[in-house]
Amino acid sequence: MNIPYYPGCTLNTNAKDLQQCAEYSAQALGFSMVELTDWNCCGASLPLTDNSSMGYAGPANVLINAKEEGTKEGNEDKLTTLCAVCYNVLKRTNYAFNNDNNKLDTVNSLLETDYKGDTNVLHYLEVLRDEIGYDKVKEKVTTQLKGLKVAPYYGCFLLRPHNEVGLDDPYSPTIFEGLLETLGCEVVDFSHKGECCGSYSAMTNPENVANCSFGVVESAVAAGADIIATTCPLCQFNLDGNQVKQKSHFGDLDEMPIIYFTQLLSIALGKDINSISFDSNSISPLPLLKEKGFV
């Protein structure tokens, strides 16, 4: 099964750790991520501003390219992405196109071809749950991650605004938990699973980011987690990096390793841990993983 894939700006660069393991896992599960031949930045924050038709043009272009790719022979007529922000932007663009005729016309007037709002966008987690099925995933698991207490961190982009993005219930989601259980992890419910890590105010207000990230990490520690699994490159960066860079905010709190969910997935599917890069991690998860016996 070939699924068209949109990496977005970070997945081939700063977040290549997230992507590498996703690709490995895809192969192991019997599908491949076919990168779009032509794509552009999703705009990230642009559609979040008020009424910016320009901000929808960028993602609309991506969705048009995806539709083209999806209708090629041998490809699934879908688009998947790993980046939470890209997912959020693409879904919100689809929502705007399907619910606001004026926006549709205005944005289409900026594009070469008209977008009809019909590209089916799936997050990688949705591909695993709905296209592959967690049962199939379970069959392919070679290393049960037994004894590993994982706090599934959604961040905010995947869940909100609920009616436009709608990955799952914003306050009691289950899609991420379902995957982790399939891998044999012990899922830890913690109060900040959907709270913001501080996001891109890392540039303008690092204090704020430190506070937010602390809130997330602290609640995972309080809930008894060993490790936090993330779905977003920015969350990974904030939660991991701030524990070292802004140590004053974290006080006596034990260091909590932060890991991409695809890295955990690939370990469970048999990837050699030594081939997984943890270079970007300020706090390496390796000691913990060794301790639990997955190395």
Interface ranges with another protein (CB under 8 A): 161, 169-172, 191-192, 195, 219, 222
Determine the Cα–Cα distance for residues 5 and 21; give it in Å rounded to an integer. Answer: 14
Compute the least distance from the CB of residue 118 to another protein, in Å: 25
Closer residue to another protein, CB minimum distance, 131 or 195: 195
92 or 192: CB nearest another protein: 192
Query: DSSP letters of 103-166?
Result: HHHHHHTTSSS---S---EEEHHHIIIIII-HHHHHHH--S--TT-EEEE--TTTTT-SHHHH-
* DSSP one-letter code for 253: P
Name the minimum Å distance from CB 198 to another protein.
14
Least separation in angstroms between residue 191's CB and another protein is 4
- Cβ 265 to another protein shortest distance, Å: 27
Closest approach, Cβ 86 to another protein, in A, equals 24
Q: Which is nearer to another protein, 202 or 221 (CB)?
A: 221
Cα–Cα distances in angstroms (integers) from residue 177 to residues 164, 172, 173, in the given order? 22, 10, 8
Alpha carbon distance 179, 137 (integer Å): 9
Q: State which residue, 161 or 270, has the beta carbon closest to another protein.
A: 161
Please state, as a whole number, how many other Cβ atoms lie within 10 Å of the Cβ of residue 273: 16
- Minimum Å distance from CB 264 to another protein? 25
Looking at the Cβ atoms of 54 and 222, the one nearer to another protein is 222
> For residues 48 and 286, which CB has a smaller minimum distance to another protein in the complex?
48
| Angle (CA) 58 18 27, round 5° | 100
Contact between residue 281 and residue 289 where contact means Cβ atoms under 8 Å apart: no
Closest CA to 149 of 257, 231, 243: 257
Residue 196 contacts by C-beta under 8 Å, 6 or more apart in sequence?
A: 155, 156, 212
Nearer to another protein, 109 or 191 (CB): 191
Minimum separation from the CB atom of position 241 to another protein (A)? 23
Quick one: 122 or 212, whose CB is closer to another protein?
Answer: 212
- CA atoms 259, 275, 39, 74: torsion sign: negative
**Residue-wise over 127-162: b if at least 16 C-beta within 10 A, else e?**
bbbebbebeebeeebeeebeebbbbbbbbbbbbbee
CB of 99 to another protein, least distance (A): 14
